[in-house]
Structure 1
Amino acid sequence: MLPADSQLSELYYIFCILTTVIFTMDKGSVLTHILKSNDMSTLLGGELPVSVISNNKYISPLTAEAQAADRNGEEDPPSLDCAIHTALSGEIKSVILVGPEGSGKTTALVKLVMGWAKGEHLQKFSYVFHFRFRELNSLDGALSLETLLLHHHSHAPPESVPLLLQKPEDVLFVFDDLDRYKHSLDPSVHTLCSDPTQAASVPCLVASLLHGSLMKGATFVVATRPTSGLEFLSGTRVEVLGFLKPQREAYFNGFFTDPAVAKKALTHMERTLGFYDVCASPKFCWTVCSVYKSLMDAGAKLPETLSQLCVDILVHLIQTLSLNNASSRDLVLALGKLASHCFLDQHSSCTKEEMDSFGFQQFLNSVGVFLHVEGDQSDVFSFRSQLMQEFLLAASFFLDKSPSEGVEKMLEKHKGCVKFLDFFMSGLSEPLQRRPLENVLGELNSDRIVDFKSWFKSSSEKTLKECYKERQHRCFHLLHQAQSESLVKEIITPSARVGISYGDLSLQDCVALSYVVTCLGEMEQLNLYGTKNLTEEQAERLIPAMSISQKIILSGSSVSTGAVHHLASALSRGLTKELDLSNSRLGDEKFKILCAGLRDCKLHTLKLLMCRLTEGICEDLAPVLTSATSQLSVLDMRSNQIGDQGFTTMCKALHSPHCKLQELMLQNCELTAASMETLSAAVCSGQSQLRKVGLTHNVIGDRGVETLCKSLQHPLCKLQSLNFFDSELTGACCPHLMEALMSEHCSLTELDLSVNDLGQEGALLLCQALSRPGCPMEKLGLKRCKLTEAVFKELSSVLRSGTSQLKSLIVGINAVGDQGVKHLWDAVAHPNCLLEELDVEMTGLTDACVEDMCAAIRASKTLKSLELRNNTLTDVSVPALVEVMQDSPNMKEMNLKYNEFSEEVFDMLDECDTIRY
């Protein structure tokens, strides 16, 4: 006799051996059961999972994490199979797969179970139960879990079930189609049970299993489309994406035996459909391949749009049924009614009684190509494809000859339920696209087509006057579906608002926008401002639009390296004259790529403000500037780390006779006086076309100004505008400026010295130079230069002299008060004064100056703009200011912001639209 403990151990050992043998034998039954699947394969249903797996055509779908990995350039993005196995190999007890229709969830689950049955993986589970929720819907009455397992999995040996129920940790439950389940998973509506031998309703058993009260410790994998039932499930959620481009390529190569045919089919799909989310669906890929093969074998043209594809699918399905035109028409009308009913009632399935009410009595043997037929009595029907469900709704609307609701009401009724309905209606409204369908169904209702076109045109006209980007995108998508150049030109009139920002485009948006622009033939402005990540694929689709756009705005955008390659290509062969990449975080490497397209293009203006460029790019920029074909005349490189060395390299290009640069903006580029010598030499070379240079926020200093002043006196220097705003200057630079301005060769018309400590002595020297007869100066900036009343008095004298050409004077933020500015009012009133713009912001003005100011405005024949911000004018002055602005037709603007006005005078200020406050 063995001790009691030894007897128990031996009995347990024997039990384990027996159960292992039973379960090992049972795996073969599981595999046989799966291989005998009686599902029906149709053009809309996708290839059967068993067929895909058995014929070694299986390609694992990807998870949402794979999309991020793909964007980051990772070579092996995580697959769905890997995600499931990783989750189940640990301690996780519940995995929920969530993905759209046809994303590969069902096939992945079948492969999971088959792999277990073959002993390939997940052998820690002694048994796997595979359920489909749609099959559980038909089970009525009370059952125990034990009975349910035996009933639903007849291949399971009856003697094994009681044993496995005692070891739930060895059991894996696989549930598919949660979105097709008609019962609630809310635990509060069920009395959850824990005894597997206790009889309960099937909904109660399912809820008890998934919420852990029944078979506690078992593992679950649940697959579903997005559905409200998910809120009642907890576990590790895996977002199923489907296929990215590499998986689609592998799929097409597996479908078509001829590699050349596979490449042709895939290339066409990526060009015409690859930007739609549905293309991530393996089921959709199978449908597309099947349609393409049929069309290729017949020598027919492949579809150019989603609408055309659905036309080809429907024609193919109708032809397989061998119905006459009248019967085919009645079938599509019935399918359209069913589609609308399912959308509006948010039911994924329909009963036989409901089917009869829609007119399906004579078609019940034919609907299998369009619908799933389920239930013990084949009494439950549901659409195999939501995409086709929407297309059938659109087609039936245009087929229906009976009087009913108009297009707008019909679209509004289905709003929120559908995604492509208006796409399909737009496609079917064009004769060439609907003709194949009319050949098998008869002509569509012309009145409804006219109604749609009228709605489309009126709604588009309204949309294109507004600034709602999403609505404009939708309009472009509908035009793309219609594939009618004449329709594009009819709707996108010259007055249409097509210049709003199209930042953050989807790939689908890029295709539609590019199509519309291409139809128009030319675009004044392609505004992509604020695009967070312009990818290589997006830029490739935008090449046609970029190539015929006069101006491309990518400011505030993030542009990938691949996208820059396509941008460079578009520039080199296009019409673009202005490119704005300001604040795009371009960087040196991407700029080097861009330069390849800049050497031979029509670009006149290039804006690179805050692009994180360094002195390294100047070696690449110099050949661009000296290219014989370059047209670049305006270059804005503000707020980049160019430095003296980089700027010196750029200046060498100015010596070239091919360099056409006229304006160069270098604000905040870390320049010093050291590089001014090179600039000075370049502008005096006789080759330079440079007219305007901006050096704001650089440490130029007095020595740098002195160097440039020498060049201003050179007869070959053509500089007309210099900006030294905040360049650390003092009054010591003014003698050199005076000398330059007194020179007969000086052609300077604009000079900004604002935010520098020139002081009274230096400013008076400038005034002396301005008094020279023939001095060309037209615009002078002296804001916050520590000017005094004496300087204002001298400026007044210059303005009244009759020799001054000054039209713009900026002397704000100099605290001279009413008395100092009065000198300027006297000048403005003088007939010799030519001022059009006067800036006296923050000069200490009070109400006491208003009388003189108004008199000057009335007397002036030239003044158009007056800047009065940040002074201490009060409500008392408002009537006089409003009156003078209303009485002075020359005045275009008076800025009174940040004065001491109360809300009581706002209505009065509103009476004058030329006053800003």
Structure 2
Amino acid sequence: MGRETRPEDLQGVKNSHKKSMKTKVEVVWEGGTKTENRTLLNSIYTDLYITEGPSQGTNAEHEVQQIEKKQRGRARDMAINYKDIFKPLPGQEKTIKTVMTQGVAGIGKTMSVHKFILDWAEDKANQDVDFIFLLPFRELNLIQNQHCSLHELLQKFHKELKNSEKYVDCKLVFIFDGLDESRFQLNLNTKGKCDATRSSESDTACFTVNVIIRNLIEGKLLPNALIWITSRPAAVGKIPAELISQVTEMRGFNDEQKDAYFRKRVRDGSLAEKIISQIKLSRSLYIMCHIPIFCWISATVLQAVLGKDNEKGIPRTLTAMFAHFLIIQTTTKNQKYDEGHEGNLGHQRVLQSNKESILKLAKLAFIQLEKGQILFYAEDLEDCGIDASDATVCSGMCSQIFKEESEFQLKKIYCFVHLSIQEFLAAFHVFYSYVNSDMEALRTLVTRPASWFCIKRRLSLYALLNAVVDKSLESENGHLDLFLRFLMGISLESNQELLHGILSSTVSSSESLQGTSRHIKEKVSGETSEPVSPERAWNLLYCLLEVNDTSLHEELDNYVKSNKRLSPAHCSALAYILLASEDVKDELDVDKYNTSSMGRERLIPAVKICRKARLVDCNLTETSSKIVASALQDPNSYLTELNLSFNDLQHGEEQIAQGLASPFCKLTNLRMQRCNLTEMSCRAVASALKSDSSCLKVLDLSNNDLQEPWLKHLTTAMQDERCKLEILELYNCKLTDQSCEHLASVIRSASSCLTEMDLSVNDLEDSGAMHLSQALLDDHSKVKTLKLWGCKLTDQSCAALVPALKCGSSRLTKLNLSDNELHDSGTNLLSDALADPRCKLEKLQLENCKVTDQSCTDLASALWSDSSRMKELMLRNNQLKDSGVELLSKALEQPHCQLETLQLQGCQLTARSCEALSTVLRSDSSRLTELDLSDNDLLDPGVELLSAALDDPGCKLEKLQLQGCKLTARSCETLSTVLRSVSSRLTELDLSDNDLRDSGVKRLSAALQDPRCKLQKLQLRECNLASPSCGALASAIQSNSDLKELNLSGNNLQNSGAKRLLRALREPRCNLEKLLTDSGDLVKLQRGRQQRSQPGARSCFRFPTQTYGRR
């Protein structure tokens, strides 16, 4: 092992090592060489948002938008402090040995590594660790072929180790920073013979540096050592997943951390606040600042711009910001190195005087970008005519990193301050070459022979931009994505003017950019080729943003409608684009996006620019709750409707409570179903209800266990004169009759605005209904809608409600008593009230109430009463039978009957009922427009009787539901005649769950093509249909049919059938807006192609999603 080291000597080495490491990391050189811009790390370091990362695997996509090849096995983002990188997450018991931290360039990986080391060196954290060895790959590259022992390798980086080798028995941390910069062929595996044996001499044996690193990572050398690897996402796959204990993802700054960074970075407090304020005015810039390096660039630019009180010149796009950065860095260089300049030259003259240097750097940037290189050497600079010894060239735009120790070959490494700066300069090189007709410089970007033939003469800007779009799509890792975005941005005439000191002339670009925008839209939609992958699509949409394309939202909507699976990274990008576009979105519904629960959570930041937000079941965390709360507290917020249902708000109820309490909160509609609410939440909602600024009109707290004291907070607030609440939904909240006492006091309150209450699925029982009924008698009651279904009521509740229904001051117009055991006795009591001229009831729901035909006499009498106002009657799942329907039918023929909707699903009816109802439908006095006869054995003869009436000029029926009526193709033939009739008004037809088969649908399809057919919605779920039905329906929907919605779920359509439908959707004459099918797995390759080229086309291919509705 080498010479023995005494304990006191080892401690001395430890102390020396800590001191040395502190010296290495305590200073940051921002934006230049290590001889300028010296800043203490602790003075500017701002915490970054780090989370558990995606499952490990090969990742070849561009870092701006990484697609995850393996679905994440977790439900929410878990924030991790950089100090705790080797600690298991809550609920995990595994030992963390090797950590992979991934993040895009400039996100703060190296800065976090340095802060981790600095805190350790200053005895602030991780004091159980004895030695930390920092081994950046960009420096390891210089000695990759050298042979040495582990100790010799470490001495090259840490001379303070001297001859002491006892550290191998201590707790060690090896940090390999920048895996993406590695030029090693690691060839990692977990099997086979160890290259560096585990003998007592394993640390002194000589191997190549490559072998030593490989064995350290594989755990074959110093198996107890902890390993931390950082990487850009594209290189993560170099390390096999089985070698990684934990993956973390560097997410950059959240909103609070951005502000904190600017306050630390800009010493002038008032200027810092001014910068923060200005950046927040442009959401696009504010969102971009989640990357720390962009914060630095923004701070640099805005200090210069705002320092001159030039608010009009503030850049609003990525390209404009980088153009200003170039100007400022060049101006700084002039002031520092060029004698005789006063520093007050106009920016055009500054650029002009440095034109040669900038063009050389731009050429270097482009050449190295095409090679995929971000690190280069002096000879690379010399190839572009750059003198590497000239400090004026490298100041600001390039940084140098080099070692001058005897073991290293003295060789300087060069790189741009940030990859995005290299991409910006590379894009400028291409645009400059175009402007100056240097077609040879553009040759590598135009790959098609025909295009190259044109290039010899003169390439149009439109052709160049389109060629670069196509070229960027060919890249496996997207290394040209940001380059393309910058190229389009530089082409914008306003940015050309900004760079006029280098550009000799301005090129008219509006038509070219419009044409390329169309080309991008075609690529995204897949109209002219196979649809591009999501990560490519996002970058193309970014390009539209860069050139101020106002159709961005429409393009986003079209892409999302293609129903492609979105990874969490894609959802982050989508939220970014929505935020950065500066447009206000009407609604954000995370449930509409085909993604995981984590993906839905990543969409939440877009809530800030939406009027309505439906954040249902998206695993709201404390962090995402803060985002929602900040939107509620923002005086410029547009948010008026918020649905947080099916989230456990115990993780963020304090943040939501703060948002609701804000005087700037503009919510009018708040839904919090099944949110595991606590007393704190109820207090917060109550406080919001009675605040001076309260706007809340709709409150849904259904599916929460609202204990009596908590409910009391709410009911007290609802009696406050400042409360504007109109609709209260407390479905399934474990309420009791005592709860009804509190609610009754609200109804009686003179200041209450309550007009609708849903108390369904609570054990209120008759005693609770009595409390409510008595309150409804009060002159102050404004309740119009009362829902009490499934509340364990009996006929006694009906008796209690009758006085309220007969009361002249009562405003009740809608009553739902379904799923209660009312029986005929209760129904008869209600019928008596319905016949009273003072009763204002228009809608009555008595579904599944054990009503029989014995009640129909009294119901019929109430319906034909000259004072009846009843328009909707729901009697589903009662034993009415044919005799009961015959009694009701006689009432429906009477001129005083106002009924428009009658639902008789599952009432044990036959064709005999159809005969009675057909008479009603023919009657001139009948007002019936909607009829539901589903789940009755009507058979084909029953439909024939109905069809004869539907064809009558006096029939007003528009909606007919015949689901599960044991129909065959024979009924389709009959109904097709109706659909062709000029007198038919039928617009909605439901024939689901019938044995119609292909022959029946062919007859219906033929009718749909008839110009007299008015049908807009057709339901054919589970009708034993196959591919031939698709062919018939495809012909119908592409023939200018009025059909807007078609449901074919539960049928064996097969791939060929679904493709026929998709082709039909692309036809310009197709008016279909919604197609439902469960065969999406068979047609996923065709999705994205269905958007028609006709401007404003709305056709889409959607699939059934979970809904959270109630009666």
TM range (shorter): 0.7 to 0.9
1:662-698 deviation digits (Å, cap 9, x = unpaired):
9748485636356556765555555555544444445
Q: Is 2:766 aligned against 1:766?
A: no
Equivalent residue for 1:181? 182
2: distance between equivalents of 1:370 and 1:385?
9
Q: TM-score normalized by structure 2?
A: 0.64
Larger Rg: 1
Instruction: Give, in angstroms, the shift of residue 553 of structure 1.
Output: 7.8
Out of 336, 352, 357, which is 2:383 matched to? 357
1:431-452 deviation digits (Å, cap 9, x = unpaired):
66665x4265456752457533
Q: TM-score normalized by structure 1?
A: 0.76
2: distance between equivalents of 1:702 and 1:470?
62
Q: Is 2:755 aligned against 1:746?
A: no
Per the alignment, do residues 343 and 635 of structure 1 end up closer, same or farther by CA in structure 2, a change over 3 Å counting?
A: farther
2: distance between equivalents of 1:262 and 1:654?
53
Classify the secondary structure of the residue corresponding to 1:355: helix
Bigger share in helix: 1
Classify the secondary structure of the residue corresponding to 1:239: strand
Equivalent residue for 2:1059? none
779-788 or 687-696: which moved more?
687-696
Say if 1:137 and 1:182, in contact at 8 Å, map to a contact too: yes
Equivalent residue for 1:672? 793
1: distance between equivalents of 2:610 and 2:177?
53
1: distance between equivalents of 2:488 and 2:890?
72
466-475 or 806-815: which moved more?
466-475
242-251 or 413-422: which moved more?
242-251
Out of 531, 537, 543, which is 2:627 matched to? 537
Instruction: Give, in angstroms, the shift of residue 888 of structure 1.
Output: 8.3
Equivalent residue for 1:413? 471
Say if 1:701 and 1:729, in contact at 8 Å, map to a contact too: yes
Say if 1:583 and 1:611, in contact at 8 Å, map to a contact too: yes
Equivalent residue for 2:578? 513
Q: Is 2:512 aligned against 1:451?
A: yes
1:465-515 deviation digits (Å, cap 9, x = unpaired):
999998997687556656x6xx53x77689996996999896775565356
Per the alignment, do residues 724 and 313 of structure 1 end up closer, same or farther by CA in structure 2, a change over 3 Å counting?
A: same
2: distance between equivalents of 1:854 and 1:38?
82
Say if 2:670 and 2:698, in contact at 8 Å, map to a contact too: yes
Per the alignment, do residues 530 and 506 of structure 1 end up closer, same or farther by CA in structure 2, a change over 3 Å counting?
A: same
Equivalent residue for 1:372? 399
Structure 2 unmatched runs, 5+: 55-71, 339-349, 403-408, 446-463, 588-608, 757-782, 1038-1042, 1049-1111
Out of 35, 51, 57, which is 1:64 matched to? 51
2: distance between equivalents of 1:426 and 1:814?
63
2: distance between equivalents of 1:37 and 1:903?
68
Per the alignment, do residues 826 and 128 of structure 1 end up closer, same or farther by CA in structure 2, a change over 3 Å counting?
A: closer
1:695-733 deviation digits (Å, cap 9, x = unpaired):
444555445534433442333433322232333323343
Out of 715, 720, 725, which is 2:837 matched to? 715
Equivalent residue for 2:1073? none
Instruction: Give, in angstroms, the shift of residue 784 of structure 1.
Output: 1.8
Equivalent residue for 1:3? none
Q: 5 Å matches for 1:156-555? A: 156-157=161-162, 160-161=163-164, 164=166, 168-169=169-170, 175-186=176-187, 192-194=195-197, 195=201, 196-211=203-218, 222-226=229-233, 227=235, 228-231=237-240, 234=243, 236-237=245-246, 239=248, 241=250, 244=254, 251-257=261-267, 260-266=270-276, 279=289, 285=295, 288-301=298-311, 306-322=318-334, 324-326=350-352, 328-361=354-387, 364-365=390-391, 366-375=393-402, 377-400=410-433, 401-403=435-437, 404=442, 406-415=464-473, 416-417=478-479, 420-421=482-483, 424=486, 428=490, 437-438=498-499, 441-442=502-503, 445-447=506-508, 451-456=512-517, 459=520, 488=550, 509=574, 512-513=577-578, 516=581, 518=583, 528=614, 532=618, 533=620, 535-538=625-628, 540-541=630-631
2: distance between equivalents of 1:683 and 1:525?
38
450-459 or 563-572: which moved more?
563-572
2: distance between equivalents of 1:296 and 1:317?
16
2: distance between equivalents of 1:716 and 1:351?
93
Per the alignment, do residues 839 and 773 of structure 1 end up closer, same or farther by CA in structure 2, a change over 3 Å counting?
A: same
1: distance between equivalents of 2:367 and 2:838?
81
Say if 2:283 and 2:579, in contact at 8 Å, map to a contact too: no
Instruction: Give, in angstroms, the shift of residue 581 of structure 1.
Output: 4.9
Say if 1:786 and 1:814, in contact at 8 Å, map to a contact too: yes
Q: Relative contact order: is structure 1 or structure 2 higher (C-alpha 8 Å, sep ≥ 6)?
A: 2
Say if 1:625 and 1:659, in contact at 8 Å, map to a contact too: no
Per the alignment, do residues 288 and 137 of structure 1 end up closer, same or farther by CA in structure 2, a change over 3 Å counting?
A: same
1: distance between equivalents of 2:799 and 2:294?
67
Per the alignment, do residues 831 and 547 of structure 1 end up closer, same or farther by CA in structure 2, a change over 3 Å counting?
A: same
Per the alignment, do residues 808 and 397 of structure 1 end up closer, same or farther by CA in structure 2, a change over 3 Å counting?
A: same
Classify the secondary structure of the residue corresponding to 1:809: strand
Equivalent residue for 2:858? 736
Per the alignment, do residues 425 and 702 of structure 1 end up closer, same or farther by CA in structure 2, a change over 3 Å counting?
A: farther
Say if 2:29 and 2:37, in contact at 8 Å, map to a contact too: no
2: distance between equivalents of 1:273 and 1:866?
47
Tell me the number of residue pairs that the alignment of Structure 1 and Structure 2 aligns. Answer: 884
| Counterpart residue type for residue 578 of structure 2 | L
Equivalent residue for 1:9? none
Q: 5 Å matches for 1:435-834? A: 437-438=498-499, 441-442=502-503, 445-447=506-508, 451-456=512-517, 459=520, 488=550, 509=574, 512-513=577-578, 516=581, 518=583, 528=614, 532=618, 533=620, 535-538=625-628, 540-541=630-631, 561=653, 562=655, 573=666, 581=671, 585=675, 596=688, 612=704, 620=714, 664=785, 666=787, 668=789, 670=791, 672-673=793-794, 684-686=806-808, 690-788=812-910, 790-800=912-922, 802-818=924-940, 823-825=945-947, 827-828=949-950, 832-834=954-956
Instruction: Give, in angstroms, the shift of residue 411 of structure 1.
Output: 3.8
2: distance between equivalents of 1:640 and 1:511?
37
Per the alignment, do residues 895 and 171 of structure 1 end up closer, same or farther by CA in structure 2, a change over 3 Å counting?
A: closer
Classify the secondary structure of the residue corresponding to 2:468: helix
2: distance between equivalents of 1:80 and 1:820?
73
Instruction: Give, in angstroms, the shift of residue 24 of structure 1.
Output: 1.1
1:18-51 deviation digits (Å, cap 9, x = unpaired):
x633761684487368637999823368999995
Equivalent residue for 1:4? none
Say if 1:45 and 1:385, in contact at 8 Å, map to a contact too: no
Instruction: Give, in angstroms, the shift of residue 418 of structure 1.
Output: 5.3
Instruction: Give, in angstroms, the shift of residue 776 of structure 1.
Output: 1.9
2: distance between equivalents of 1:180 and 1:622?
64
Instruction: Give, in angstroms, the shift of residue 746 of structure 1.
Output: 0.5
| Counterpart residue type for residue 42 of structure 1 | E
Instruction: Give, in angstroms, the shift of residue 339 of structure 1.
Output: 3.3
Equivalent residue for 1:79? 81
1: distance between equivalents of 2:86 and 2:989?
70
Instruction: Give, in angstroms, the shift of residue 455 of structure 1.
Output: 1.9
1:148-201 deviation digits (Å, cap 9, x = unpaired):
4555544444xx34x548x55476655544443322222589993455555443
Say if 2:362 and 2:428, in contact at 8 Å, map to a contact too: yes
Instruction: Give, in angstroms, the shift of residue 745 of structure 1.
Output: 0.9
1: distance between equivalents of 2:847 and 2:388?
85
Classify the secondary structure of the residue corresponding to 1:137: helix
Say if 1:586 and 1:613, in contact at 8 Å, map to a contact too: yes
Per the alignment, do residues 866 and 597 of structure 1 end up closer, same or farther by CA in structure 2, a change over 3 Å counting?
A: same
